[in-house]
Structures are given as structure tokens and as C-alpha cells.
Chain A
Amino acid sequence: MSEADGNLVEATNVTKNFSRGAETIHVLRELSLSVPQGEFLALMGPSGSGKSTLLNLIGALDRPTSGQVVVEGERIDDQSDSRLSRWRARHVGFVFQFYNLMPVLNARKNVELPLLLTNLSGRQRREHAEAALEVVGLTHRAGHFPRQLSGGEQQRVGIARAIVTDPTLLLCDEPTGDLDKKSGDEILSLLQALNREQGKTIVMVTHDPHAAARAGRVLYMDEGRLTEQPPD
């Protein structure tokens, strides 16, 4: 199974354990997942079910205890930290629940951050950042700092930062978890638009059924396993 089969993400028999003193916590248990290119997938489940851990493994922020993860035909669970960093910069965009914007940089500079890792000139970086801000409808707020923006606007800046390098895969960890309903709806509409109009493959972790309903497919996690039906 690979990109040739139409799957962008292939996680096979993935296990993730954490140690807490002498105790071993089994967060993911022999889990397999395929995400076709262009899909908008929502992962739902209660706190501690392992959905964020799975997202971290797909985004190469962490490594599985066993099993393998292949993204865009490239196995990512056995690479060095520095290779994974470069891989992330090219292939993945992250959207976080709490935005994780740099408070000392304005919106445009925040969006430019991933471009500092490319060979683009200062002017090109600025143009790319402005284009990304236009996609999320925040051109007029480019010079504002995060503290001057609402939660919804900050998340839109976060999305602009995630798409500025034009990655194939967007990984969103509770993107509406810190927003009111109206702002949350706007963010979900934006993600839907990115999926439909720009073909971005999106994996979104959420515990909100309303948010999950906006995805093309919903999977549920329970005690480290994936199911297609909500757990009892």
C-alpha cells in the first residue's frame, strides 16, 4: 500500500507505549490506518484515547514503539531527527488547538516562519505569506500581533502558516477546541475549502461531533484502537 494505491498516509500495526515509572501505558495498540490522498478525515474519541498521539506519529513529531508509518510513499518512523525536520518542513502543515503563534511576531512574520527554512528571498517570503493570508481572509490584519487578534483570527493565521509551504498534508489537533461556535464554524469552513478547492489531505483530531460532521470520513478511537463506529 502506498501513494500508488491512492493512499497518502499508511500506518501499519502501529503501537505506542509510554513509560511512567515502572508502569507501561499502551496508548496505541497494533493500529492500522489508511488515508487516501485528498481526504478530509476526522479522528474522534475521548481524552486519552490516543488520537493526538496518532496525529503526532503521522506528522513525525514522535516515533512508534513498533509498526511503520509511510507518508507520500516515504517511511518516516525510522529516520533521523534532522531528516524528519526537513521532511516536515516540506510535506506537512500543522494547525494547533492553541495556535502556537510567536507573540513577538506580527501575523505576516508568523506565516513567514516556515519559509525561513527555504531558499526564498525576503521579498518572496513576504509575497508567499501575503498570499497565504489572503487565502484565510486576513490580508488586512497582516501587521497585527497575535494579542491584537481574536481567537478565530489567530487560528486563521495558524492555518495560513500551515499552508504557506503548500504541503500535501494538513494535520489539525483540535483546531476549534479553543474557539466559540461561530469562529469554529469559520475555521471548519476554511478547512473544507482547502480540502475541496486545493486538494489538501486533512487529518483532524476533535472531540466535537459537530466539527467531525464537516469531515468526509470519521473514525473513532477507543483505548488505542480505531473503529468506524462510535464506542458505546
Chain B
Amino acid sequence: MKFLPLIWSNLMRKKVRTFLTLMSILVAFVLFGFLSAITKAFNVGLDIAGEDRIIVRHKVSLIQLLPESYKARMAKLDGVDLVCHATWFGGIYQDPKNFFGQFPVEPEEFFDMYPEFDLPAEQMKKWKETRTGAVVGRATADRFGFKIGQRIPIQATIWSQKDGGRLWEFDLVGIYDAKEGQTADTTMFLFRYDYFDEARGGEEGTVGWYYVRVADPDRAGEVATAIDDMFANSPYETKAEPEGAFVQGFINQMGDIGAIMQAVLTAVFFTILLVAGNTISQSVRERLREIGALKALGFTNVQALALTLGESCLLAAAGGLAGLALSWAAVNGVESSGKLSAYLPIFFIPERDLLIGVGLVAALGLIAGLLPALQARGIGIADALRRE
């Protein structure tokens, strides 16, 4: 600690250069924090995907519908514990930018399928009693200030009603949360399938996709194959796959987010390494005679190395930790504001990534300072004292 003022003074000898390097490091770590949160947001579906859940969709694509009659046939299969379905509604609430997912579902089966959702029993009871009833996740309720008892109009973009009208109105009867300690998507707007199926002007008796819960997760692959075999060569062939694989496939439609993020971060950190390394190298080159003088006073070669590494580590720590703190505060601010909740329902920097960030700070400090530190260690005193 007694060397810290000396290290700090050396960093401060070229204030502008140090400040610019510090800002570069800070910006890099702010970017790291945001990209971590975005990666997490994209991959959260994988985290919450149930090992015992299979998604069954039309073999051609997700937008092709399946017969509702498949439900009973799949339920009879050996190893199947529960079957329910959902359909993409794709409506607009007031303005197209107010996006959130709306799905007609079977209330009880859907909430049985997703035990991580928490809907109070009395609200579920009310929902079953109200044909036009709907429940919404906490994130969306908070975002639009929805209150129970409110009538919510949704303008359909896909599903018109039998009379050709496109305005659907729902009575909000419940708000669901994620169960304590669990991660879940609380942006969905759910309403009753029976009401939807009777009111829509076409495609009656069809659904978007199925959720199938298997009794034994180890048999999920086997059950998925059995489902596909059962509907093979029919007009509605299926593609059944574990929920995790389904979510991964969905994410991959947008590209390999993880690889893209990694490529961006690698480029950023490589650049920062060069910037910080150059700053420290320049700083050491400019004061080789001072380093020689310090050694003449009794500083050892190892102490000269440690002082230089200390400089680069202090620089990396000041910029990197400030960047991480700033990104953490900003991500929390964005998450609290709900401005991104329509697109990224889960938005936070995982603790693991924060720890990786701290590790990167240390690595940056050590690697950037290594070559100049070795130069400071290796230079002979007599030689250093002769330098201009």
C-alpha cells in the first residue's frame, strides 16, 4: 500500500493520456456489461426451458397450424403426462410499438404445464368463470398500468372475428408473477382458447403448437419420436423436440447471438489491450532514467516490475470496475424503466458475468503491463542512468 501514491503519481504524470485510456477501458466494460445482459436476455428461454417439456409444432414451420384433435391422441401416448396448447394471436394494443405476446390457452392446463408461473387461485377461478377473461404477466401489467377489472381492447392482425371485426376485447381477471426464486417470462397476455375458437372467423379447431409434459425427462427424446411417428404421412405432420432445443432453434433464427457477442467483445478487448499496453509502454519508455535512479536507491528489479504492473493494474481496475459498475447501474435502470421489456423480458447482468468482468479487468491489467514491466525489470542501472 505504501507504494500506491508512487504508482498513482506515475499514472497522473500525463493526465490526458491516462484519462483517455481510462475512458477507453471504461467504455469497453460498459459494453461488456450490456452485451452480457443482452446475451442473457436472448438465452433466458434456454434457462427456463423445462427438461420434461416437449414442443410439438407443424413440421413445415411454426406458423402452420395443427388440429386441436391431436391433443387427445398425444395424451394417450405412453410416457405423456400432460398436453396443452397455445396459438400466436399477434394483436396490437393501442399502437404497434406496444408489443407483447398474446396467446389463447387453456387456463388450468397451461398453468399446470408452467408451475413457475404464480396466479392466485381466486383469479384462476374468476378466469374460468369469465369467457372473455384474460390474465397478464406482471411486467406487462406494470408497463401499461393494467388493473384487474379493466377491459383491454386488442386489434387483431391475424384473427378476425366471425363478423369480420378485428377488435377483440378482454376482461382482465388476473395478473401472474414468477414464483419466488424462479425466472419466468412475465410479459405474456393469456386469454381463453374456447372463447377464441368460437369467436374467430376461420381455422376453427386448430392450434399453433403443443406443449407435452413427459413423466420421465430421460424419455423425452423417445416420446418426441413417437409423436412424430404417430402423425407421419398425415396432412399435418409434426416436429416434436425438447423445449430447450426448440428455444435454441428459435434463437438461432436470429443468428448465433452468443458467437456474435463473443466476436464483438473479443475485438473490443483486443483493441483495449493494445491501447492500455501502449499507454504503459510509452510511460515506461519516457522514464527509464527514473527507473534506473530508483534501482540505484535500492529498489530491486522485481520491485521495478511490480511498480509497472501496479500501474497497468490500477489503470485497468479504475476504468474496468467503473465500467462494470456503470453498466450494472444502467442495465438495472433500463430494466426498472420497462422500456425494453417488450423485446427483452429478462434484462440483467448475471453475477457470473460480473465475476468474469472482474477477471477480465485483472487479465487486462496484467497482460497490458507485462512487456513494459519486463523492460523495467531488465534494464541495467548504469544503462538506464545514461538515457536522456
Contact = CB atoms under 8 A, between A and B. Distances in A.
Interface of A: 53, 56, 59, 61-62, 81-82, 85-86, 88-90, 94, 96, 98, 100, 102-105, 109, 113-114, 116-117, 122, 161
Nearest to A117: B298
Interface stretch (B71-79, B270-278, B287-295): B287-295
B9 A62 contact: no
A89 B297 contact: yes
Contacts of B167: none
B6 to A, nearest CB: 7
Interface residues of B, number: 26
Contact of B297 (A53, A94, A98): A94
A114 B301 CA distance: 15
B380 A62 contact: yes
A210 B3 CA distance: 41
**SS class of chain A's interface: helix, strand, loop or mixed?**
helix
B299 interface: yes
Contacts of B381: 56, 61-62
A22 to B, nearest CB: 20
16 contacts: A62-B380, A81-B300, A85-B298, A85-B299, A85-B300, A86-B300, A96-B385, A100-B293, A102-B290, A104-B10, A105-B6, A114-B297, A116-B3, A116-B6, A117-B299, A161-B297
Contacts of A82: 300-302
A144 to B, nearest CB: 15
A33 to B, nearest CB: 18
Interface of B: 2-3, 5-6, 9-10, 12-13, 289-290, 292-303, 380-382, 385
A88 B296 contact: yes
Contacts of A113: 6, 294, 297
Given A61-B382, A90-B298, A100-B385, 18 more contacts: A61-B296, A61-B381, A81-B300, A82-B300, A85-B295, A89-B297, A94-B293, A94-B297, A98-B289, A100-B293, A100-B296, A103-B13, A104-B10, A104-B12, A105-B9, A113-B294, A116-B3, A122-B2
